[in-house]
């Protein structure tokens, strides 16, 4: 077995990942590393053999880890990376800070990042995937981010470096985000709190928030427009083409497309990662047969299938 550096943080061999994802599926990682701080992470990556893969993992809200697990060092940020500091209209947040917590703390200081309130996950994932809703996106409020490269160098990334697109960025393989700076417009704290309350009520009325899901399963078909805005405001929605293909409520094993919102895939209790991925592929196939639209996964799928 490969010899790994000895960090100050916690390094676990053969860690089962199912308990770390919102869908509660997935096999073991070769290693799980929880760095103590940025210096610990940088030193570890610098000394990590080049042939060892690195997979940065957030809170697992938008992720299917396949049943065979991950042949990699999974890096998961914890307490040392969940700070939130407001400086004028700028908010500096560690990548483990939950989107909802950032939105709330910003609103209390009169900074409008309310669109983050209902996005499941943490700031690292929001930057990495250009998360957004209600017509606002991380790219709209992004100032800069700090990352550690695969070689262990600490670097500052601009929006140009990341090249924000619809639900994706150009973050290089093996680089680990550690902090982001966002800047929002000013707003009245009470009005911002009211808006977030309204958004939560709307979400809870239309999405299966009490079920095990990973948020939206597929990207909305229209993608990212030439104006730089994504298509939350576009007429064509993934749930509509899924409904039109007769796949609302469809099941494979313990996996189901939610009856409440057909672009939400849920683990009804005993789904495997294979059940979830197979159901998603069946939905893609039926939608393509019905409308000619090639749905693209929004949920990230990683790792290896279970051995036969």
3-class secondary structure, 130: coil
Average pLDDT over all residues of the chain:
93
Please list the active-site residues: 167, 216, 298
* CATH 3.30.465.10 is the classification of domain 80-190: yes
Cβ pair 70, 304 in contact under 8 A: yes
pLDDT of residue 235: 62
Q: Show me where the domains of the chain are located.
A: 10-79, 80-190, 208-302
For 197-242, the pLDDT digits (tens) are 999 999 888 888 888 999 899 999 875 443 344 444 446 899 999 9
Q: What's the confidence (pLDDT) of residue 228?
A: 40
Determine the Cα–Cα distance for residues 208 and 161; give it in Å rounded to an integer: 36
User: Which CATH architecture is the domain 10-79 placed in?
Assistant: 2-Layer Sandwich (3.30)
Q: Mean pLDDT over residues 234-260, rounded? A: 93
- Average pLDDT of 121-133? 93
Class of domain 208-302: alpha beta
Residue range 175-198, pLDDT digits in tens: 999 999 999 999 999 999 999 999
In eight-state DSSP terms, residue 234 is S
pTM of the model: 0.89
Q: Residues 73-78: what's their mean pLDDT? A: 95
**Helices (DSSP H) in the chain: which residue ranges?**
38-47, 99-108, 123-128, 138-141, 159-162, 189-206, 238-244, 273-291
- pLDDT for 297 beyond 90: yes
């Amino acid at each position: 077995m490969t010899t790994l550096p000895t960090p100050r943080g916690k390094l676990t061999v053969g860690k089962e990942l199912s308990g770390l994802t919102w869908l509660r599926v997935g096999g073991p990682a070769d290693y799980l590393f929880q760095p103590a701080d940025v210096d610990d992470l940088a030193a570890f990556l610098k000394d990590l053999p080049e042939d060892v893969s690195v997979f940065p993992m957030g809170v697992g809200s938008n992720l299917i880890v396949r049943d065979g697990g991950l042949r990699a060092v999974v890096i998961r940020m914890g307490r040392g990376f969940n700070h939130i500091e407001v400086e004028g209209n700028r908010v500096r947040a560690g990548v483990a800070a939950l989107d909802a917590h950032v939105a709330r703390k910003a609103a209390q200081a009169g900074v409008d990042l309310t669109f983050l309130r209902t996005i499941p996950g943490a700031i690292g994932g929001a930057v990495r995937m250009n998360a957004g809703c209600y017509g606002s996106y991380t790219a709209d409020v992004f100032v800069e981010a700090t990352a550690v490269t695969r070689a262990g160098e600490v670097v500052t990334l601009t929006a140009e470096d990341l090249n924000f697109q619809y639900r994706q960025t150009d973050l290089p393989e093996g680089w680990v985000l550690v902090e982001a700076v966002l800047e929002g417009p000013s707003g009245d704290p009470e009005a911002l709190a009211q808006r977030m309350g309204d958004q939560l009520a709307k979400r809870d009325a239309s999405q299966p928030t009490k079920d095990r899901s990973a948020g939206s399963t597929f990207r909305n078909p229209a993608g990212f427009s030439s104006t730089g805005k994504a298509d939350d405001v576009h007429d064509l929605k993934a749930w509509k083409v899924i409904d039109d293909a007769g796949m609302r409520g469809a099941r494979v094993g313990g996996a189901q497309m939610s009856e409440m919102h057909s672009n939400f895939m849920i683990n009804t209790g005993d789904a495997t990662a294979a059940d979830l991925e197979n159901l998603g592929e069946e939905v893609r196939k039926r939608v393509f047969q019905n409308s000619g639209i090639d749905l693209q996964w929004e949920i990230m799928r990683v790792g290896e299938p279970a051995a036969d």
